[in-house]
Structure 1
């Protein structure tokens, strides 16, 4: 099998991310066609890795996207369509089905995008999930509130991270909120609130097998950070510990049962504080956000974006994918909104693997050869972040507000 077989990737990007994917795809010899939105025309894209670029006003009009890419396909032989952001998954699936290209179609992709579909799929696969109900039938909702203790969580089915999530403490608050949502309410679900620690597993999948997986634990649940104004932090779990083993096993089962064949996966579980059980929260067919990829690379040497690109190109050529040798270090990340426009992180020097450069944000990654050392550094640096930089702002209601 020749590795010189020409491969053309069409990459969709609603947000500025995936530069390492684009660079590695080009390094692997692929032709890279890039489609993004007008507002990101001047973003810091790796132009040297992009062969053709096209701009759309936005990706919200499915017919416009379909017609535009179909017109492009008259002259371009597209082999794979890659969504670089979670919000591009539906369009990528729609285009694959219309153009009859390999990859997840519209039904399969719902398990990685629609929080109701993924919960039902996980429950059917025997994976424990918090009790939930779709916001569809009012009798079902009343039954849910009767059997499930307060508070309840109201979640958008297709937003990312903790965006748009509300904690509901009383039935009258729920009904008032649903009235405000109007016809949009069927795009939500209600879920049992399970207090506990939240874990995330960041993995790579090739030919249906999980070829790489790193388990991590957030210092604070993403919901608490976004809605409570805290500091975002996460770190590598002890690879020989029971928590890591459980997370990896659950992630492997989920990938197989959900029908994921190739790509990157970010999955979250919560360990109930009251019973110690792990519950599925959500999964996404993408690289984790909030610079989790940089943390994974710091601890393992594996760049999730670059390896995802290699998987896509090599499967298009029918070549076997091999994961590079990985390190066994540990890493942790801290990110906070900052009072200063350009926070000065020069006083943070010990074990630093990466520092964030973004207005009104302070962030860093630490790396060490033991989990204990990373934990100690995160504790020290988080305390100092609150004193040196931390501020907060109201949580966004939708991704457009983020």
Structure 2
């Protein structure tokens, strides 16, 4: 009987979720999909698809057990934060490799992450958990300013507010308490109204992508990130990092220490950090692949190494396979709505196709779609993206600069 892998939902972007399905196909794995919403994919890439409310962990585990009675299930995997807790419980129930249910909460709650890392405080900013305005005011005295206020249980850079003085506290608190409710998004069901205030970290921003097999950590590499103030929306990623060797080695040591301390022994991780020229400190860490096409496309475009294949290898109890080809570089530029309104079109797409190194142009919004922007909404204003591959990070950055100048989202107020 052919081995099968249970996937708990797919990435929301078609380019990314097809990469996951094709990776399973290349490894000879049947795909069993547990999903909230029916996925529109080629039938040949799925052995079975079951609708189940995956935020309900009991129902998710029950559906997974049913599949395990009918298929030879070798692994369980999630591609996003939302299913980290449920996937951990399902892997335990089926006796498969994966993040333990005991370790999983620290990968889904930023306050639990920091308290679990108390043995390595040199990698942490000052922080405090906040559930009321009075707590926030006391926390500001401890943390100081500038600071950042954000939800403990969010994902994808949702809800990040800069705090520069006492006058910023109440407006940010009111916005976030209104937003971090399960009726706004079910991801907040286990952290309703729970926020964290932490020291504003200076320096460049990066992510670390890697795997863990039977406790052994393997890094796929480090990504350079660009964010947009004031909400720290991620707008660009370049892989591999252009940082000096010494900086990358320091970041790698920090990543290894964090992953070991948090107890991830089998799985993948996406860790975000800041580098200030002397030391690296943690922003957040997730027990899933990196989004924004980082692991689906940038890593394989630059290295020839399929991060998704390695994620599936680790999930099915096998070690990852490292790349052997000479490294190139790859990057992604996101195209954001300039303001709220109705999306009409992209101008400049034809000119963009002539940019050297262009691999993909991605359109995520349909003409006529209503667009909201932060702080009203954080997930609607990324309208598309461009992916580039070239010989060096500098060449990739130059190409992304050109694409950013050419491609213009047209949004009518």
Q: Which band: TM-score by shorter chain?
A: 0.7 to 0.9
Q: Does 1:115 align with 2:114?
A: no
Q: What's the TM-score once normalised by structure 2's chain length?
A: 0.78
Could you list the runs of 5+ residues in structure 1 that have no partner in the other structure?
395-402
Inter-CA distance 340–72: structure 2 relative to 1 (3 Å threshold): same
Pick one of 346, 350, 362 that aligns with 1:346: 350
Q: Does 1:130 align with 2:133?
A: no
The equivalent of 1:159 in structure 2 is 154
* CA distance in structure 1 between the partners assigned to 2:243 and 2:203 by the alignment: 21
The equivalent of 2:210 in structure 1 is 203
Pick one of 289, 297, 301 that aligns with 1:298: 301
Inter-CA distance 46–241: structure 2 relative to 1 (3 Å threshold): farther
- Equivalences for residues 379-394 of structure 1 within 5 A: 379-382=401-404, 384-385=405-406, 388-390=407-409
The equivalent of 1:366 in structure 2 is 388
The equivalent of 1:29 in structure 2 is 28
Q: Is the 8 A contact 1:197 1:221 kept in 2?
A: no
The equivalent of 2:84 in structure 1 is 89
Shift of 1:136: 5.0
Q: Does 1:307 align with 2:310?
A: yes
Point out the structure with the larger strand share: 2
Q: Is the 8 A contact 2:331 2:388 kept in 1?
A: yes
Q: Secondary structure at the match of 1:213?
A: strand
Q: Is the 8 A contact 2:162 2:231 kept in 1?
A: no
* CA distance in structure 2 between the partners assigned to 1:239 and 1:162 by the alignment: 23
Shift of 1:221: 5.3
Length, aligned pairs only: 374
* CA deviation string 1:176-222 (max 9, x = no partner): 56875799655322212224321111223333223332112113258
Q: Is the 8 A contact 2:362 2:386 kept in 1?
A: no
* CA distance in structure 2 between the partners assigned to 1:163 and 1:311 by the alignment: 29
Q: Secondary structure at the match of 1:297?
A: helix
Inter-CA distance 176–11: structure 2 relative to 1 (3 Å threshold): closer
The equivalent of 2:275 in structure 1 is 271
* CA distance in structure 2 between the partners assigned to 1:71 and 1:328 by the alignment: 43
* CA distance in structure 2 between the partners assigned to 1:181 and 1:238 by the alignment: 36
* CA distance in structure 1 between the partners assigned to 2:174 and 2:219 by the alignment: 45
* CA distance in structure 1 between the partners assigned to 2:48 and 2:195 by the alignment: 38
Shift of 1:389: 0.6
Q: Is the 8 A contact 1:295 1:332 kept in 2?
A: yes
Q: Secondary structure at the match of 2:102?
A: helix
Inter-CA distance 209–70: structure 2 relative to 1 (3 Å threshold): closer
Shift of 1:355: 1.9
The equivalent of 2:380 in structure 1 is none
* CA distance in structure 2 between the partners assigned to 1:6 and 1:300 by the alignment: 29
* CA deviation string 1:202-257 (max 9, x = no partner): 2233332233321121132586453xxx8434453237533322222222222222
The equivalent of 2:187 in structure 1 is none
* CA distance in structure 2 between the partners assigned to 1:378 and 1:106 by the alignment: 40
* CA deviation string 1:104-156 (max 9, x = no partner): 22221123222112222234234421111112588765442113323432222
Q: Secondary structure at the match of 1:366?
A: strand
* CA deviation string 1:261-291 (max 9, x = no partner): 233221110134xx85321001112221111
Pick one of 214, 219, 225 that aligns with 2:226: 219
* CA distance in structure 2 between the partners assigned to 1:240 and 1:176 by the alignment: 41
Inter-CA distance 108–23: structure 2 relative to 1 (3 Å threshold): same
Inter-CA distance 392–246: structure 2 relative to 1 (3 Å threshold): farther
The equivalent of 1:55 in structure 2 is 51
Q: Is the 8 A contact 1:128 1:280 kept in 2?
A: yes
Q: Is the 8 A contact 1:93 1:103 kept in 2?
A: yes
* CA distance in structure 2 between the partners assigned to 1:393 and 1:223 by the alignment: 23
Inter-CA distance 222–299: structure 2 relative to 1 (3 Å threshold): farther
* CA distance in structure 2 between the partners assigned to 1:391 and 1:307 by the alignment: 39
Q: Secondary structure at the match of 2:227?
A: coil
Q: Is the 8 A contact 1:162 1:222 kept in 2?
A: no
